[in-house]
Amino acid sequence: MQQVFHKIVSILMSFVVLFSTMSFTIDMHYCGDTLMDTAIFHKAKTCGMEIQKTTTSSDCSIVKKDCCKEEQIVVKGQDELKIAFEKLSFDQQIFVASFVYSYENLFEYFEENAYTLSEYPPPLIIKSIYKLDETYLI
């Protein structure tokens, strides 16, 4: 049971390390105020309403405001992992010591007392009690 528990905890901790170091981006494309597309790990598809900026003459130019906008959310993961513990601060030493102490005292180990009944012999059987309590159907 304890080995299964340790395996489950180690798998969960490996997922914690994996997801804490993973970074990703979320791209969103809005057309006006409505969300048109959302994408994770790649660019969001556009709605096709973007304004093409073409100028044929330099004298006359019409500037329209683009109704579409792109929004990007970047979730950064942890870049540096501390693999070795060469230097522990005093607070970390107190935490490790209290954790080990509380973990060891979490489980109580009982001494296995083997009580023998040699000092207390069984009572002598005078009558067969099971014969007295039997009932017979006729």
In a domain, 90, yes or no: no
Overall number of domains in the chain: 1
Question: Does the pLDDT at position 45 exceed 90?
Answer: no
Q: Which helix (H) or strand (E) holds 58?
A: none
In a domain, 37, yes or no: yes
102, amino acid identity: S
In a domain, 38, yes or no: yes
What pLDDT is recorded for position 65? 64
Give residue-wise pLDDT tens across range 63-101: 666 678 888 988 888 777 666 667 788 898 899 999 999
In a domain, 26, yes or no: yes
Question: Does the pLDDT at position 46 exceed 90?
Answer: no
Beta strands in 82-127 (DSSP E): none
In a domain, 18, yes or no: yes
What is the distance between the alpha carbons of residues 133 and 137, in angstroms, rounded to a whole number?
A: 13
Give residue-wise pLDDT tens across range 95-131: 999 999 988 877 776 667 666 677 777 777 777 777 7
**Domain enclosing residue 13, as ranges:** 2-47+63-79
- State pTM to two decimals: 0.41
In a domain, 100, yes or no: no
